[in-house]
Amino acid sequence: MVYIIAILSVIFLGLAIMVVSRMAAVVKSASGSVEEGQIGMSNKINGALFLVFLVLGIIGAIWSYLHSVQYFLPEASTEHGRRTDFLFWLTMGIITAAFVITNTLLFTFAWKYQYKKGHRAAYYPENHKLELIWTVIPAVVMAVLVFSGWRAWRDIMSEAPADAQVVEIVGKQFNWIVRYPGVDDNKLGAYNYKLINSSNETGIDYTDEASFDDFTSPSELHIPVNKPVLLKIRARDVLHSVFIPHLRVKMDAVPGMPTRFWFVADKTTDEMRNVTGNPDFKYEIACTEVCGRGHFSMKINLVVEDEASWQAWCKEQKPLLNTTPELADRIPTSLKAKAAKYLPTEGTQEAAAPADSTTARVQPSGGASLVTATIR
């Protein structure tokens, strides 16, 4: 350990001596005692290298952009997404122009105003006109960008239209669960986190009659095209984030704090397949908050289809109350009659009989009706 400290001490001492010698050289140069020969050709070479670096840097930046274009997302499939993209590229254009102009001046001046014998730098103690220009122009540009961004944010985060299709998406480690308000109304039933279990993953509260026709989908989210869709977002465990890149939709799912996001998708999945030239294209919903070891697998597909196809798909789905009849135990007695049509019929229950049971059908004589018996 002592040897290491000794070696480091020698190194730092050498560095200190080098810095002091450099400072002495700078002081000597500032006093005007430096000789022309001491500057030599290196000053001109350094000035030229500034220009070379500027040109190569611009060429590299242009190449990087052109090379990356192939990886850009296609045009957004929502109006708000296209508006967001416009603001992004407007901001990038202004920043890029300012960057190129300032750095071009910086490197050009370093070459143009290199040391020349007999030339002295001009000193301006103050220049109010110049100060006003470099203060007002950035202030105006910033004000325009901030105001444009605020207007876009205000419109995007405004209240959803009254006729918006309501869908709930719930994040949990490590998948999404989608809940629909059924086909009888466009109203999601209440939920209670205390009711969450293996058969009721979103905690639907069946004391609320609006929940009777709710159904869930753990693998896909179906929405109609050209119709406002209101996503009601929540999380069961840790922080997640709903991200639909082709629709430019992104909103965090926060435990204990429901969030929302509404949008209008104006390109169906089939239309996007034509746009991208990819017959296997699918809209994807991913999680963009690292939520655990299985975060990478937390995604589902989004299907955007015409109204008729979407309605037909919804009618094919069965309420969770139908597929999981034990949830009916929570229905108040006063509402059981209303819930009856959503519960499985006797024939459905027969079809869902356990695999280890035997079902016998007996046709009595005398034209009596069919008798079905399940024997375990």
The pLDDT value recorded for residue 112 is 86
pLDDT, position 37: 52
Query: At residue 233, does pLDDT exceed 90?
Result: yes
Nearest alpha-carbon partner for 171 in 308, 286, 317: 286
Position 354 confidence tier, pLDDT thresholds 50, 70, 90:
very low
Residue 229 one-letter amino acid: V
User: How high is the pLDDT of residue 26?
Assistant: 66
Per-residue pLDDT, 372? 40
What pLDDT does 346 receive?
60
Per-residue model confidence (pLDDT) at position 157: 93
pLDDT digits (tens, 9 = 90+) for 95-112: 999 999 999 999 998 888
Q: How many Cα atoms are found within 13 Å in the side-chain-facing hemisphere of 282?
A: 13
Section 358-366 average pLDDT? 41
At residue 117, the 3 state secondary structure works out as: coil
What span, in angstroms and rounded, lies between the C-alpha atoms of 151 and 138? Answer: 20
**What would the pLDDT profile of 143-167 be if each residue is shown by its tens digit?**
999 999 999 999 999 999 999 999 9
pLDDT at residue number 32: 56
Beta strand 299-305 pairing with 220-224: parallel
Asked if 259 contacts 251 with a C-beta cutoff of 8 angstroms, the reply is yes
At residue 364, does pLDDT exceed 70? no
- pLDDT, position 96: 94
What is the percentage of the chain residues whose pLDDT exceeds 90?
52
Tell me what the mean pLDDT of segment 113-131 comes to: 81
- Predicted local distance difference test score (pLDDT) of residue 13: 83
pLDDT at 183 over 50: yes
pLDDT value of position 166: 93
Read off the DSSP letter of residue 298. Answer: -
Percent of the chain predicted with pLDDT > 70: 87
Q: Domain segments of the chain: what residues?
A: 165-334
Query: Given a cut of 90, is residue 185 above it in pLDDT?
Result: no
Band (186; pLDDT cuts 50, 70, 90)? confident
Q: Which pLDDT band, with edges at 50, 70 and 90, does 28 fall under?
A: low
45-67 pLDDT per residue, tens: 888 889 999 999 999 999 999 99
Residue 360 has pLDDT above 50, yes or no: no
The SS3 call for residue 157 is coil
Between CA 84 and CA 46, with CA 60 as vertex, the angle to 5 degrees is: 130
Instruction: Say which CATH topology domain 165-334 has.
Output: Immunoglobulin-like (2.60.40)
> Do residues 321 and 206 touch, judged by C-beta distance below 8 A?
yes
pLDDT of residue 14: 83
The pLDDT confidence band at residue 39, using thresholds 50, 70 and 90, is: low
Cβ–Cβ under 8 Å, residues 348 and 322 = yes
Q: What is the pLDDT of residue 38?
A: 55
Segment 16-43 shows an average pLDDT of 67
Q: Is the pLDDT of residue 300 over 90?
A: yes
Helix, strand and coil percent figures for the chain, each rounded to 5: 50, 20, 30
Is the pLDDT higher at 353 or at 125?
Answer: 125
